[in-house]
Chains A and B, each alone.
Chain A
């Protein structure tokens, strides 16, 4: 009964994502016709257009998909794990950790020492905060995880603010600010190569948790009685989300709200079944970030808007709507 509509939703969202990815390659200050872009991709023409398509647009579209899928999937998985519709990757402190790592690299000026120094520092920051959160929440339940994440996240945020405060020069401060806003501009295939393995590994881990999350929708006691080991499931989801979101944030900066929103957008399409929400949320996240990134390039006035700013601008009202709806059902 729900099966055909789920398969259909999956196919439609996948098609939408691919269409947006194609549009992302074509759209921008310079527009390409599909034929030109195809020719540039296939033949590797050495002219300027070919270079723009191959070295700027294509990796940017690829990164948008990776980052969006990582955020959407992790957010939906965390909402299932914490049994809280307002959960998002930020609650674990992973994105703050990645930001802090990158900010420290910018602060100490090591970000320019080699091409991937900045995202690598972000990855290290994400790994360190996740380890800290997991250690703090060890043997505690979902609440312990949320509290540990919130504590580590706000401390990380304070350190980021401190770095801004003590920035050695206004340029360094601006550089940090700009990075914090999140963007996919001027990224290369090496960023894709850095993020992709982590995002893919994290996604596999998260998608593998689907059935346990289904059981968890009946409550922790019932899930345990059905053979789900809660401590393993927590580690699986925190680890998977940390891999995927840590890598995504490391290459793109903080992109807000996609992780919160994607799951909610697709939940009705999946009949609210968590294992079905996961793949749909990954696709929806990819589509959202692609769309926002195309939007950013097409806004005709002023300097290019930062992706994180646009997703937050669009996402915050949605968040508000969610809270209003939740308030109605809770009262």
Chain B
């Protein structure tokens, strides 16, 4: 059964069609990259998949249940969503920030401190960020903060992780690092959905790619099937060459 599926998802805002009958499904263990030019509807699609945006028509199912029938708490616990440009209003400690991800699991009086502590440690370990635990999150570097926000997203052990441009603002090393970690989460049996801009990294890391253009899905398949010079030209209006070497497939933008 697919972990996350969208059926003819359409979002219309003020007579502008942001998403036009998009259908897709993600299996546990898959890492799906949603690619497309600016304004193609990537963020809208991710928000709709996360249940944060009610589609004009069509529906989303999470682990076999349509989102409308999910209790908000269950939805919050089952899928994590990492928005573009994660913000932080107050100088909270890293452990606080990560612990906020456990909110959907907390009862009336909150969750047992020991349980939260343990989960926070596990999430920080998975992100190699244990050493940041006591730091003030607003003083972290961009790469460190990205790791902490990822730890926040996985601390409730969701089955589905949706991240909107998780590489924005990261240097090459941290981009590779973040993608490797997201890939590992998929390998652990989660369904991971990412909006990305870097076609080359998507080709290397994603198990599947959905290409969006003007709200429509124009391709869905393995990176080799979808990231062809023809499709790339159609979606992005750029010329690209593609190939593969020992490290996997690559995409080079030419002109």
Contacts and interface: CB of A to CB of B under 8 A. Distances in A.
Contacts, number: 73
A220 to B, nearest CB: 9
A222 B103 contact: no
Interface string A208-241: 0001001111110110111101000000000000
A218 B52 contact: no
Contacts of A83: 89
Nearest to A222: B83
Given A218-B87, A272-B90, A211 B106 contact: yes
Nearest to A211: B103
Interface residues of A, number: 24
B92 A271 contact: yes
B214 interface: no
A224 B52 contact: yes
A218 B80 contact: no
B202 interface: no
Contact of A226 (B90, B96, B104): B104
Given A218-B97, A218-B152, A222-B83, A227 B90 contact: no
Contact of B92 (A3, A211, A229, A272): A272
B96 A273 contact: yes
Given A83-B89, A226-B104, A221 B97 contact: no
B100 interface: yes
A217 B92 contact: yes
Interface string B61-90: 000000000001101100111110011111
Contact of A215 (B93, B100, B113): B100
A214 B113 CA distance: 16
A227 B70 CA distance: 11
A113 interface: no
Interface of B: 47, 50, 52, 72-73, 75-76, 79-83, 86-93, 95-97, 100-101, 103-104, 106, 110, 113, 134, 152
Interface of A: 1-3, 80, 83, 211, 214-219, 221-222, 224-227, 229, 267, 271-274
